[in-house]
Amino acid sequence: MSKSLDNKSLIGKSLNQLSLYYMINSDFEKSNTHSQEAIVFFKAINDQRGIADAKYNIGSINYKTNNYHEGLIYLKEALRIYKKYDDFESQSKVEKAIGTVYEYIGDRSNAFSSYKSAVRNARKVKNLNLESNVFNNLSGLLLKRQKPSVAMKMIEHAITIKKQTGDTRGLAFAVYGRGKIHLKQGGFKNAEIDFLDAIDKHNKVVEIMGASMAYNKLGKLYYKFNQLDKAIKIVKEGLKLSTSYNIAMTKIKGYHLLYLIFKEQSNINKSFKYLELYLKEKETIMNTHTQQVMENYNLINKMNVLESEALLQKERQKIIEKKSKDELKAVKLKQEFLSVISHEIRTPLNAITIIVSILEDQVHGESKSLIRSLQFASDNLINIVNNVLDFTKLDSKKTALDLDNRNFNEFSTKIVNLHLNVAKIKGLALVLNNDIPKDRNYLLDQTKLSQILSNLIGNAIKFTDKGQITFSLKLIKEDSKFDTIQVSVKDTGEGITEADISEIFLSFSQIKPVMTRKQGGTGLGLAIVKKLIKLHGSNIQVKSKIQEGSEFYFNLKLEKASKIVHIENKPTYPQLKNKNVLLAEDTIMNAILIKKVLSKWGVTTEHVTNGKLAVEYAQKKKYDFILMDLHMPELNGIDATRIIRNTKNTNTHTPIFAITADVMTSQNSETSILFNKVLWKPLEIDKLYTALAEKTTPSNSETLET
């Protein structure tokens, strides 16, 4: 009828409603098609709210089919438009969906914030149904936080509202939520009643996904209480719906549950059948193309943990001075805690770094500048994290120089360019005085030397309001094998008193009080600089005059190296084409991104989520490389690699690379024997490529890229 009237607004609205209908009935392909069509009509008449409605539908389809990141992008865009029009009802609806996505990817803090905002907006428009929908989700989140009694009060409130409003579909989900709480508390009968009731209600309103979820939970209940025949029957009912409508989220859970049930019954054939189906479905999910990075990933919350850890480090300094056995044991415990913290922070940083790298080649125009801003923000965060975490690694003597052949002129120019824009913003000149021959190469640790120079130049810019920063490199001694270079960073800033010079290299030291100083920072930069320069066999010196400026300088003895040829902007990666990799990584998001990078190089990847599976795969098939995360469930990466190296299999001599976010891991004697190289998270794409390429024998038509 709308088309006969040629009314684009009505056509778009009709398509959106039809999309919503198909989504509820779990026909996601038709749902997506109609929403995409709706956007075309709404764009033609510049109906922003219509576009937002369609994007909400598309976002919901994406996260329900496990494409969480793309779903989040559409939902965030819809929310932006709704906020523009003060559409609080739609905001509540979208915020609930965004909270669900965050919950799926394990970001409970952002999920909780989204849910709370959804409740506030629902109350603004007095929409009880929306409010109770969010309470349903909040109860599930509280259950995961081990607060079943609070979760029960919330879900009972949601059920009461649903009964008042007559929302059968919403009531079915709420009853299902109450059943989950009963299951958690061990209440078999009450849980069974709720799950059966939820199934009945979902079937009446043809809510396919809700019904399949309830079947799975009921099957889990029967499995938990050892009613295995009932469990099989119920789970298979749910699988009929999941497979008919291709609902991956419930399908994978159903396969896994049947695998466990048949395993319990010692039915090896059927158990293996469903395990294969489970793994195949999981692999399909992991191959989903992640196109965009989530906005505002939960890194700010993790930085709060770092602040707490900084206080622990101060305590650690006191403990070391006392030298007592019990106190030294406490130091070890805190170092282990830092190890965990470093892993938890670097893992999401790794995802952001890789996604930015992937997107850089795919976006243009304004989007390019957004990607660069995101890269700058993530780099800044990485520097702060490194300052806190690397300090502990240096302090525990678990680090060494990783020397590589580098052109010193190119290296120093890159360092200056890195800080040039920040200096310009403050109206400062950043000058490089370099008398090292431009073609001179040395064996140097680029990462650690970059950290030294970036801290010194960054501090100079930070504490200088006018004038210039001079970065000088002077060749003061040379022979056939070594050069000695004096490195200096001089500023025209506020200067440092003699009393403060003795303090600035201490851990966590800040000259000015935290509440009054203009400049930020952890107070670890110069402490790290001092330790890194000492690692190079040198000492840092300071000259300073108040209101005239400061100069930090040190000597660096470097071994000369032969000139290398760089191949810039290599368009393809023939060195790795048709290679196959076994990737052991328990964080799905990181695995997806690493696979995407490897596929760009023509590499085929098989993924496993723990060390035990990595050992099993390595015994069955020959791989060109193995990428092994160190922190994994079932069996960690070190133990898994030890088994692969020391047992008879086709991968005993396969190059194995450790991938870790753990700052306390080092290239010690054992890791150097087990692994060909340790690659740190956040992963640097160039280093990953170089590591793999170095272990590849090039064909006659190919040469190894240096």
pLDDT classification of 670: cutoffs 50, 70, 90: low
Burial of 517 (0-12, 13-18, 19+ CB in 10 A): exposed
Beta-sheet strands, E only, within 585-647:
604-608, 625-629
Q: What is each CA distance from 669 to 392, 654, 662, in whole angstroms? A: 20, 19, 17
**Domain assignment of residue 471, yes or no:** yes
- Please tell me the predicted confidence (pLDDT) of residue 507: 47
- Please tell me the predicted confidence (pLDDT) of residue 521: 44
The domain that contains 624 carries what CATH number? Answer: 3.40.50.2300
The domain that contains 464 carries what CATH number? Answer: 3.30.565.10
**Domain assignment of residue 82, yes or no:** yes
C-alpha to C-alpha distance for 362 and 342, rounded to whole angstroms: 31
- 561: helix, coil or strand? strand
Which residue, of 58, 92, 126, is where some domain finishes? 126
**Domain assignment of residue 24, yes or no:** yes
Residue 293 in this model has a pLDDT that exceeds 50? no
Residue 478 in this model has a pLDDT that exceeds 60? yes
**Domain assignment of residue 212, yes or no:** no
Number of domains into which the chain is organized: 4
- Please tell me the predicted confidence (pLDDT) of residue 301: 37
User: 542 with 581, same domain?
Assistant: no
**Domain assignment of residue 277, yes or no:** no
What's the chain's length in residues?
706
What mean pLDDT is predicted for residues 373-397? 58
Beta bridge partners of 542: 552
pLDDT classification of 497: cutoffs 50, 70, 90: confident
Residue 322 in this model has a pLDDT that exceeds 60? no
User: 615 with 598, same domain?
Assistant: yes
- Please tell me the predicted confidence (pLDDT) of residue 328: 57
User: 417 with 344, same domain?
Assistant: no
Which residue, of 395, 430, 445, is where some domain finishes? 395
- Please tell me the predicted confidence (pLDDT) of residue 311: 42
- Please tell me the predicted confidence (pLDDT) of residue 279: 81
The domain that contains 368 carries what CATH number? Answer: 1.10.287
What mean pLDDT is predicted for residues 300-324? 46
More confident residue, 328 or 362: 362
Among 157-161, 312-316, 476-480, the minimum mean pLDDT is found in 312-316
User: 452 with 527, same domain?
Assistant: yes
pLDDT classification of 442: cutoffs 50, 70, 90: very high
Residue 572 in this model has a pLDDT that exceeds 70? no
User: 583 with 654, same domain?
Assistant: yes
Is 500:517 a contact under the CB 8 Å cutoff? no
User: 104 with 57, same domain?
Assistant: yes
What tokens appear for 533 in the block? Answer: 């320069």
Percentage of the chain with pLDDT > 70? 76
pLDDT classification of 664: cutoffs 50, 70, 90: low
The domain that contains 10 carries what CATH number? Answer: 1.25.40.10
User: 658 with 542, same domain?
Assistant: no
Supply the DSSP string of 666-706, one letter for each residue: ---HHHHHH-SEEEESSPPHHHHHHHHHHTS---TT-----
- Please tell me the predicted confidence (pLDDT) of residue 601: 87
Among 66-70, 129-133, 300-304, 693-697, the minimum mean pLDDT is found in 300-304
Name the average pLDDT for the chain: 80
Residue 109 in this model has a pLDDT that exceeds 90? no
User: 603 with 687, same domain?
Assistant: yes
Residues 138-159: tens digit of each pLDDT: 888 888 888 888 889 989 988 9
Is 431:470 a contact under the CB 8 Å cutoff? yes
Among 88-92, 128-132, 488-492, the minimum mean pLDDT is found in 128-132
More confident residue, 534 or 684: 534
User: 32 with 102, same domain?
Assistant: yes
**CA-closest candidate to residue 153, choices 165, 168, 166, 138:** 138
Return the exposure string of 372-381: e unless at least 16 CB atoms fall within 10 Å of the residue's CB, then b. eebbeebeeb
User: 46 with 106, same domain?
Assistant: yes
- 554: helix, coil or strand? strand
| Euclidean distance between the first and the last CA atom of the chain, given in angstroms as a whole number | 66
**Domain assignment of residue 666, yes or no:** yes
Which residue, of 70, 100, 126, is where some domain finishes? 126
- Please tell me the predicted confidence (pLDDT) of residue 242: 85
Longest dimension (CA), the chain: 89
- Please tell me the predicted confidence (pLDDT) of residue 309: 45
C-alpha to C-alpha distance for 517 and 121, rounded to whole angstroms: 39
Residues 577-591: tens digit of each pLDDT: 889 999 998 877 778
Residue 655 in this model has a pLDDT that exceeds 90? yes
What mean pLDDT is predicted for residues 615-642? 91
pLDDT classification of 349: cutoffs 50, 70, 90: low
Residue 289 in this model has a pLDDT that exceeds 50? no
Burial of 36 (0-12, 13-18, 19+ CB in 10 A): middle
Is 531:398 a contact under the CB 8 Å cutoff? no
Is 159:175 a contact under the CB 8 Å cutoff? yes
- Please tell me the predicted confidence (pLDDT) of residue 704: 35
Percentage of the chain with pLDDT > 90? 32
**CA-closest candidate to residue 347, choices 633, 631, 605, 658:** 631
pLDDT classification of 430: cutoffs 50, 70, 90: very high
pLDDT classification of 369: cutoffs 50, 70, 90: low
What mean pLDDT is predicted for residues 113-122? 90
More confident residue, 300 or 394: 394
- Please tell me the predicted confidence (pLDDT) of residue 341: 59
Highest mean pLDDT among 94-103, 332-341, 564-573, 668-677: 94-103
- Please tell me the predicted confidence (pLDDT) of residue 112: 86
**Domain assignment of residue 222, yes or no:** no
Q: What is each CA distance from 641 to 94, 136, 623, 646, in whole angstroms? A: 45, 44, 14, 8
Q: What is each CA distance from 621 to 225, 652, 657, in whole angstroms? A: 39, 11, 18
**Domain assignment of residue 242, yes or no:** no
- Please tell me the predicted confidence (pLDDT) of residue 542: 92
- Please tell me the predicted confidence (pLDDT) of residue 596: 84
User: 2 with 104, same domain?
Assistant: yes
Residue 350 in this model has a pLDDT that exceeds 50? yes
**DSSP 8-state symbol, 477:** E
C-alpha to C-alpha distance for 232 and 237, rounded to whole angstroms: 9
C-alpha to C-alpha distance for 259 and 241, rounded to whole angstroms: 18
User: 536 with 433, same domain?
Assistant: yes
- 407: helix, coil or strand? strand
- Please tell me the predicted confidence (pLDDT) of residue 197: 93
Among 162-171, 469-478, 524-533, 647-656, the minimum mean pLDDT is found in 524-533
What tokens appear for 345 in the block? Answer: 């922070």
Domain that holds residue 34: 1-126
Residue 290 in this model has a pLDDT that exceeds 60? no
- Please tell me the predicted confidence (pLDDT) of residue 651: 92
C-alpha to C-alpha distance for 458 and 452, rounded to whole angstroms: 10
Residue 654 in this model has a pLDDT that exceeds 90? yes
- Please tell me the predicted confidence (pLDDT) of residue 699: 41
- Please tell me the predicted confidence (pLDDT) of residue 351: 65
